Amino acid sequence: MTNDVPLSSKIALTGGADFWNTHAVDEADLPQVMLTDGPHGVRKQATSADHLGLADAVPATCFPPAVGLSTTWDRDLVERVGVALGAETAALGVGVLLGPGVNIKRDPRCGRNFEYFSEDPHVSGELAAALVRGIQSQGVGTSLKHYAANNQETDRMRRDSQVDMRTLREIYLRAFGKVVRSAQPWTVMCSYNKVNGVQAAEHHFLLTEVLRDEWGFEGFVVSDWGAVRDRVASLKAGLDLQMPGDGGYGAELVRQAVDAGELDEDTITTAYERIERVLRRACATLADAPDSFDVDGHHALAREAAASSITLLTNDGILPLVRQARVAVVGEFARTPRYQGAGSSRVNPTRLDNALDAITALAGAEVPFAPGFTTVPTHPVPEGSHDEAVAVARDAEVVLFFGGLGENHESEGYDRTSLELPSEQLRLLEDILEVNSNVVVVLSNGSSVVLPFAHRVRAVVEGWLLGQAGGPAIADVLYGVVNPSGKITETIPHRLEDVPSYLNFPGDASGVRYGEGLFVGYRGYDAAEKSVAFPFGHGLSYTTFAYADLTVTRSDAGVTATVRVTNTGEVPGREVVQAYVAVLGSRVTRPPKELKGFASVTLEPGASETVVIEIPLEELAYWSVEHSAWLVEPATYLVEVGSSSRDLRAAASVELTGNVPRTRLSLESTMAEILAAPGASDMLAQAMAGFGSVDDPDIQKMFADIPAFALADMSGMGRREFAEIVESLNG
C-alpha cells in the first residue's frame, strides 16, 4: 500500500539510484529495475555506467535503426522486430528499453536522424506504434522519445525550439499522440531542449495538459539523461522520474520544498504510484524471464528487415546482377560496414556480416576488392589505395562502389554541416567512371546525402544503416535473391540550400526558429514547386505495378480509398501504396498534399489485388488556433494514390461536411467575415455609404481586412451602434 511507504522512499523513487537503475523500495517489496538504451537493440552496459558507449555492452541483436526500418513501410515486420527486441530486453534483465524515437527529420543535417523514422508524422507514428506494440507484448516497457521538438543536436541541452502552435500540433506532436493513443508506451521520455521558452522537463502544457489530459497517457514520464535542472519544478509540471541518479541532491531539494509547503505531498505520491505501477509490471516479467534468446532466429529476422529496408533509387536495368558477371568491389564499407549510428544507441552485435563476403559467396568465385578509402579518420589509407581501386575497377564488367558516411560525419551530439559524401570518395568515383561506366553505387548513411553522380552511374542502391545482417541483405538485393521494396521516408534534395529549413537550422543562442512552419520535408518542396533528386516515398523494384479503379467513400469514421494494383512485370514484388490528401479551396494555410495513409501488397507476376486504405477523420483534421481544437474543414478532399509523393497514379475526391463551428462575429471581425453573414450587406449599407456602395466589389476588396471597430470609427456611426448591428447578425 502506498500509505505504508514513507515520504522519503517515495521521493527517492522519483530519481534514479545510479546511471541506469531505479531505487529499490524495501517497504513496498519493490526491487531496482534497469532502464537501458535502445531503440534498435539492447545496449546493456557490462561494466560501470557509460552513457556514450565507450564501455562494453553485452551482446544483443543489432537490428536496422529507424532510418532503415522506416523505409520498409511494413507495420507487421516492424512489430515482429519489436517482439524480438522485447524478448532480448527481458532475457537481459532490463525492464524498459529506451525508444523508439519519433522526432521529425526536420533537416537532413540533424546528427541523430538515423534514430528517427521520417520527415512525416503519419508514417513515423504508424511504425513507432508497431514497434512499441511488439516490444511491450513481451512484458517489458518502452520509452517514447524525445518529447518534444528535439530536431537537432547542436546545443540540444539548452536551445529553445520556437515553433507556432499549429505547426507544433500538426507536425511535431502528431506522431507522439498517435503512438500514445494506439499503443500506450509504458514511459515517455522528455527532451533536453526548451519549447517556446519553457524547458521540456518543466513543461506543464506538454507533460500534463497534452500528454495525460488530452491523449490519456497512463505510464510515467522519465527525463532524458541529464535533462532535469529543477526536480521540484519538473514534478509540478508532470515529470515523474529524473535520470540518472544525482547522489541525492534532487531528493533533498524535493524534501525541502515539501516541508516549506512549496510542493504538495500528493504530487510526490502521484509520481511514485505511476512509477511503481510500471515497475511492478516489469518485475513480474523479469521474475520468470529466460536468461537467453534465439540468437540465430533474431539474426535471420535482422537480415529480413535489412533486405526490406534497402531502397533502389535508380536502375537502368543492370540490376539484378547475373551470377556470371565479373564484378569488382570498391570501398571499405563493403568489408567494414557502417551498420548503426554513433552515440548512446550503439549496440554490441551478436555477430556482424559484411557485404564483401556475401557477394563473394553469391558470385561463386573470388571477387577483386580494393578499399579505396578509409571509413575511420584515425586509420590512414595505405599509399596507392586510390590507384589500386581504379585499376581493380578497370578490369571488371561491373563495379560495385560502396560509399557513405562514417561515424565521424554523423552522430548523436553534433549535426552535419554538409550533405556531401566525403571528397575522397567522390574523387575516387569520378576516376572510376573514367575507366568503367558500369558502376553501381551502394550507400551507407544515416540520413540523406546529395547524389550529383546519380545520372552517371548505372544504379544507386540506398542502404541506409542496416544493422548486423545488412551485408548479406545488400548482396541478396544486388543479385535478385530479394526484390527491393524500400521507399524513402525523407526527401533527397539536389542541394542543401533547397531544404525548407535551410535558413532556420540550427539557430543560435536566441533559439532555433521553425520558420518553415508546416512546410517540412516534401510539404515544403511541393509548396515551392521545387525539383528534388528523389521524392518522398520513392523506391524502385525489379518489377512494375499498375493502379486502376480507385474509389473513395466516406463514413462517420473517415474516408476509405480502394484501388486495384497489378504486378505488370516478370518477378514477384511488393508495392507500398501511398495515399495523399489535398483539401481543395481550403480557407486555412495547408501544404499542397499530405500523406494520410499507406498499405502494402505482395504480388506474383500478372496478379492483382484490391488494396484498402482507411483514413480516419482525425488524420484529416487541422489544428485551429482560433478554437484551440482539431477541426475537419467542410470541403472537397482530393485523395491521390501512387508509388511516391510525386508518382501518383490515380485520384478521386469526396465531400466532407466537417465540424468547424460558426465563428461568432464581433467588432474584432473583419468586414469580409461580417459581409459573409446573411443580410449583412443590407444592414451595413448606411455605415458604408460614405465610402461607396457596400455591394461594390472594389469597395469590398479595399475594406475586406479592416476590423469592424476601425470601420465604425471611420464611418462616424460609432462603435455602440455598429456593435448592435454585428451582434444581430449572430442570430
> What DSSP designation does 59 have?
-
| Grid coordinates of 326 | 565479373
Q: Which residues contact 129 (CB under 8 A, 6 or more apart)?
A: 178, 179, 182, 183
With H, G, I as helix, E, B as strand and everything else as coil, classify residue 362: helix
Q: How far apart are the first and last CA of the chain?
A: 57
The Cβ of residue 420 has, within 10 Å, a number of other Cβ atoms equal to 17
Q: Which of 289, 273, 250 is CA-nearest to residue 17?
A: 250
The rounded distance, in Å, linking the Cα atoms of 170 and 75 is 22
Rounded distance between C-alpha atoms, residue 354 and residue 466, angstroms = 11
Q: Which three cell numbers stand for residue 576?
A: 507500398
CB 144 within 8 A of CB 188: yes
Torsion of CA 449, 129, 286, 63, to 10 degrees: -30
Q: Residue with C-alpha cell 564483401?
A: 356
Instruction: Write down the catalytic residue from 224, 353, 415, 498.
Output: 224
Cα–Cα distance, 224 to 89 (Å, whole number): 19
- Specify the DSSP element, H or E, that contains 77: helix 75-91
Alpha helices in 168-327 (DSSP H): 174-183, 204, 231-237, 249-259, 265-288, 295-309
The percent of the chain in helix, strand and coil, each rounded to the nearest 5, is: 35, 20, 45
User: Please, are residues 194 and 201 in contact by the beta-carbon 8 Å criterion?
Assistant: no
Altogether, the residues listed in the chain come to a count of 731
Contacts of 328 (CB under 8 A, 6+ apart): 367, 368, 369, 370, 392, 393, 395, 396, 398, 399, 400
Residue 682 designated active-site? no
Which residues are part of the catalytic machinery?
224
